[in-house]
Amino acid sequence: MKPHYKLETFEGPLDLLLHLIDKAEIDIYNIPISEITEQYLEVLSTMQELELEVTSEFLVMAATLLAIKSQLLLPKPPPLELDDMLFDDDDFDPRAELVQKLLEYRKYKAIAEELRDKELARSLIYTREPEDLTPYVREVEVNPVEGLDVADLVIAFQRALRKAKSRNTVTKIRRDEISVKERMREVVTLLGKRGGKLMFSRLFDYEMTREEIVVTFMALLELMKTKHIVCYQQRLFDDIVIQQREGGNPIEIPSDEIDY
């Protein structure tokens, strides 16, 4: 009587072969090739009778099993003696490569099953979608001058003076001196031309004298004091940003307060 098989879905020939080995409780390191080959061919025959698709991979494995079976049935050749060394084919097992493939497949199959179980367990966990808590977050006003004080301006001022001092002294015609109030107007004009924002280093050029640098520094302090501008740094030691205050009226220089 021909045995009846409850056919399962096998992922490939190694999956089928491993199924037959586990079902027969056979030691994978000592596979009875003759028995397993017969069972394997019977399963393939049943699959073909049921008009199931048998891919070339299954047929290649069948040919491999038959080849191993033939090698085991052939008489062993006598030992070879080469250069005083004796080589015996008894140590060669034609099943070794197949056993190695089965062991690797079993390892990866176990890992895949473990991941599948974790995926199933995770699918049974239901979570709520995160709510938008933005309306409950307190708005923190950013202080544009936080971390920046007069000392930072003094450091930048000293750096500008060092640059002026390091220049070669040459004879040149001195320009007319300008007052702090005039320099304030110039800074305000530059801010207007540059969209209300200006870098500190842009206020100093190579031809400026020490007196002009000092006047520029005093003009910035007065503009900060009268709350016409704010100064801040993006990062420590970066160039200082001079920015016109937003939301206010056009900057007017109080002539009665500044007379120098």
**CATH assignment at residue 207:** 1.10.10.580
Residue 6 reports pLDDT greater than 60:
no
- Position 143 in a domain: no
Residue type, 210: R
Q: Identify the domain containing residue 224 by its residue range.
A: 150-166+175-244
Contact in structure between 14 and 62 (CB atoms under 8 Å): no
- Position 8 in a domain: no
One domain, residues 208 and 113: no
Which stretch of 28-32, 56-60, 251-255 has the lowest confidence by average pLDDT? 251-255
Mean pLDDT score across all residues of the chain: 76
- Position 255 in a domain: no
- Position 44 in a domain: yes
Q: What share of the chain is helix, strand, coil (3-state, %, to 5)?
A: 50, 5, 45
* Percent of the chain with pLDDT strictly greater than 70: 72
One domain, residues 100 and 155: no
- What is the reported pLDDT for 1? 43
- Position 101 in a domain: yes
- Position 82 in a domain: no
One domain, residues 112 and 210: no
**pLDDT tens track for 123-149:** 888 777 777 777 777 776 665 555 566
For 89, which DSSP code?
Answer: G
- What is the reported pLDDT for 96? 85
Which of 247 and 229 is assigned the larger pLDDT?
229
One domain, residues 110 and 191: no
In this structure, is the dihedral angle defined by the CA atoms of residues 160, 163, 169 and 171, taken in order, positive or negative?
negative
One domain, residues 196 and 116: no
Using a 10 angstrom Cβ sphere, with 0-12 exposed, 13-18 middle and 19 or more buried, the burial of residue 112 is: exposed
- Position 132 in a domain: no
pTM beyond 0.85: the answer is no
- Residue 12 banded pLDDT, cuts 50, 70, 90: confident
Q: Give the whole-angstrom CA distance, residue 223 versus residue 4.
A: 98
Using a 10 angstrom Cβ sphere, with 0-12 exposed, 13-18 middle and 19 or more buried, the burial of residue 80 is: exposed
One domain, residues 22 and 114: yes
One domain, residues 99 and 19: yes
For the residues 186-215, what does the mean pLDDT come to? 82
**Would you mind telling me the total number of residues written for the chain in this entry?**
260
One domain, residues 109 and 41: yes
Neighbouring residues of 55: CB distance < 8 A, sequence distance ≥ 6: none
Residue 13 reports pLDDT greater than 60:
yes
- What is the reported pLDDT for 64? 86
Residue closest to 92 by CA, chosen among 107, 105, 74, 66: 74
One domain, residues 17 and 115: yes
One domain, residues 72 and 30: yes
Neighbouring residues of 176: CB distance < 8 A, sequence distance ≥ 6: none
Q: Give the whole-angstrom CA distance, residue 238 versus residue 199.
A: 10
Residue closest to 156 by CA, chosen among 168, 145, 148: 148
Tokens standing for 38?
A: 């017969």
DSSP 3-state assignment of 164?
helix
- Residue 237 banded pLDDT, cuts 50, 70, 90: confident
Which stretch of 22-31, 74-83, 205-214, 216-225 has the lowest confidence by average pLDDT? 74-83
* Percent of the chain with pLDDT strictly greater than 90: 1
Using a 10 angstrom Cβ sphere, with 0-12 exposed, 13-18 middle and 19 or more buried, the burial of residue 43 is: buried
Contact in structure between 48 and 59 (CB atoms under 8 Å): no
- What is the reported pLDDT for 5? 42
One domain, residues 117 and 155: no
* Total domain count, the chain: 2
- Position 60 in a domain: yes
**pLDDT tens track for 98-127:** 888 888 988 988 898 899 999 998 888 877
